[in-house]
């Protein structure tokens, strides 16, 4: 193992972090190998674009979360490092490139996410389908998890993605309703809940064996009561799997961390979420929506 690194944005001072907010960078060539392969195929990952603190660990494990439809977003969320700009046209061969990367990595659980594309009539739903189909053609039997934007609440877009039959349909609520205007001004809490609810309803109508998933960050200034209310809302929307992790500001220009949540609090939230009936819960400082997604999914239990 190499030196400890702090995990809040480039160049952040270690002294700003409590002792549990530390990660050790793994030694070896695994990270550079994955980075080289991604460059060769011209692929983006949310790991790099969102400055994820788990990048070195995940790349060293030979896994990555693919960011499709470009690496710039049509929305500007105050918590997110992904650049807002004109995304430009879709890359037609991107689905094939993602499938090639999955094959080279030998993935048995693939997580595909995207920037938000409000400029596209379907929000990019058809591009998700093409990517799912390309991966399935190359790696039959692979579990596919999609982490989708809200598609502006479009039932048609949600149904389009579900028709490709991903095993897991993930949409993150990210934070509590009170903080939306501040950190997610172009999003809507009710709409995000409705996306999950629609996915659950449509899956039932289509006879699909679908697992729904969502995630939220803590440490932005929310209260315990607000977190608990979000968890109840997610269960009411039919969400099966939830992830809870510490918010870490990507830079000084992003929303500041209001509080570093202690590991014992994360453990308590995991216990409480399980009592609410979630089939699987991941709750810890470095948990992110796609972090160890394969292991989280394997631990699921039918209610």
**Burial per residue of 5-28, b for 16 or more beta-carbon CB atoms within 10 angstroms, e otherwise:** ebbbbeebeeeebeeebebeeeee
CA distances, 132 to each of 1, 153, 176, 273 (Å) = 35, 21, 31, 30
Question: In the prediction, which pLDDT does 301 show?
Answer: 83
Which residues are within 8 A (CB) of 22 and not within 5 positions of it... i.e. 6 or more apart? 4, 5, 6, 7, 14
pLDDT (mean) for 117-132:
98
Residue 13's pLDDT band (cuts 50, 70, 90): very low
Higher pLDDT, 8 or 176: 176
pTM above 0.95, yes or no: no
Q: How, if at all, do strands 4-5 and 23-24 pair?
A: antiparallel
Question: In the prediction, which pLDDT does 24 show?
Answer: 81
How large is the C-alpha radius of gyration of the chain? 18
C-beta separation of 115 from 72 below 8 A: yes
Higher pLDDT, 4 or 43: 43
Question: In the prediction, which pLDDT does 28 show?
Answer: 73
CA-CA distance, 58 to 46, in Å (whole number)? 12
Domain topology for 4-298: TIM Barrel (3.20.20)
Which residues are within 8 A (CB) of 210 and not within 5 positions of it... i.e. 6 or more apart? 162, 166, 167, 168, 169, 199, 200, 203
Neighbours of 97 (CB within 10 A): 19
Res 88 pLDDT > 80: yes
**Burial per residue of 245-258, b for 16 or more beta-carbon CB atoms within 10 angstroms, e otherwise:** bbbbbbeeebbebe
Residue 208 sits at the vertex; the CA angle it makes with 203 and 212, to the nearest 5 degrees, is: 55
Which residues are within 8 A (CB) of 68 and not within 5 positions of it... i.e. 6 or more apart? 44, 94, 95, 98, 112, 113, 114, 124, 127, 128, 131
pLDDT (mean) for 119-132:
98
Residue 74's pLDDT band (cuts 50, 70, 90): very high
Query: 182-185: long-range contacts at Cβ-Cβ below 8 A with a sequence spacing of 24 or more?
Result: 182/78, 182/255, 183/77, 183/78, 183/79, 183/220, 183/255, 184/77, 184/78, 184/79, 185/76, 185/77, 185/78
Listed residue (190, 139, 188, 127) closest to 167, CA to CA: 139
Residue 201's pLDDT band (cuts 50, 70, 90): very high
Res 9 pLDDT > 80: no
Residue 295's pLDDT band (cuts 50, 70, 90): very high
Question: In the prediction, which pLDDT does 303 show?
Answer: 59
Question: In the prediction, which pLDDT does 302 show?
Answer: 67
pLDDT (mean) for 190-196:
98
Q: How, if at all, do strands 44-45 and 65-68 pair?
A: antiparallel
Question: In the prediction, which pLDDT does 271 show?
Answer: 98
Listed residue (152, 179, 183, 163) closest to 171, CA to CA: 152
Res 16 pLDDT > 90: no
């Amino acid at each position: 193992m190499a030196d400890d690194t702090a995990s809040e944005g480039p160049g952040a001072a270690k002294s700003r972090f409590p002792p549990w907010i530390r990660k050790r960078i793994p030694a070896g060539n695994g990270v550079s190998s994955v980075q080289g392969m991604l460059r060769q195929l011209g692929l983006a990952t949310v790991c790099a674009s969102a400055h994820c603190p788990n990048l070195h660990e995940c790349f060293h494990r030979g896994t990555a979360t693919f960011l499709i439809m470009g690496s710039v977003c049509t929305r500007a969320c105050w918590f997110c490092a992904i650049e807002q700009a004109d995304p430009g046209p879709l890359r037609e061969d991107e689905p094939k490139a993602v499938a090639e990367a999955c094959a080279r990595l030998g993935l048995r659980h693939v997580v595909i996410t995207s920037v938000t594309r409000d400029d596209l009539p379907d929000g990019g739903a058809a591009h998700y389908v093409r990517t799912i189909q390309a991966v399935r053609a190359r790696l039959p039997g692979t579990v596919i998890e999609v982490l989708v934007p809200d598609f502006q609440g479009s039932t048609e877009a949600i149904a389009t993605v579900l028709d490709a039959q991903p095993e897991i349909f993930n949409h993150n609520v990210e934070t509590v309703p009170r903080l939306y205007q501040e950190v997610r001004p172009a999003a809507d809490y009710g709409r995000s809940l409705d996306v999950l609810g629609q996915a659950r309803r449509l899956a039932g109508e289509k006879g699909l064996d679908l697992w729904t998933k969502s995630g939220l960050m803590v440490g932005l200034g929310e209260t315990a009561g607000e977190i608990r209310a979000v968890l109840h809302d997610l269960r009411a929307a039919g969400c099966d799997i939830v992830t809870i992790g510490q918010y870490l500001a990507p830079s000084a220009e992003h929303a500041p961390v209001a509080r570093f949540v202690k590991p014992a609090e994360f453990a308590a939230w995991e216990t409480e979420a399980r009592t609410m009936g979630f089939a699987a819960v991941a709750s810890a400082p470095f948990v992110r929506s796609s972090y160890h997604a394969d292991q989280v999914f394997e631990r699921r239990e039918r209610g």
